[in-house]
Amino acid sequence: MGAAISIFSGSKAMVVQRDRFAPVKKTNDLLAIRSDAYELADDYHLKLAPGVDDAPLIKLDERYYKQVDDFEKRLGEAVPSLKNCTRLEVEGDLYFGKNVEIVGSVKYQAQQTEKIADCVLK
């Protein structure tokens, strides 16, 4: 950020509280904010949904989810419900279908290309 700011004369940095935004650095973060763990407030900022104390910790296999196009392809039908998820780790080539809910801490290992739908993973 510092390098970008130095290009523009008179520019300044602004400190924003973490509860005012949801940082998106990787597709892990993108999955969280697209899920029902977050909601859009009336003033158009993202906030955790009612009943969600902390954002779920997500780790997606970078071989299949690192690029946004690959991420989109694997979540094309629907984003899984994460409002009751504390942690999700996906290893392998997993596609999400409709009506998938993740509850608690889940580690899913796909041995081959797999698609899940209509299920609750605990």
Supply the residues annotated as catalytic.
25
The three state secondary structure string of 23-51 is: CCCCHHHHHHHHCCCEEECCCCCEEECCC
Amino acid identity for residue 42 in this structure: D
| Pairing status of strand 46-48 against strand 38-40 | antiparallel
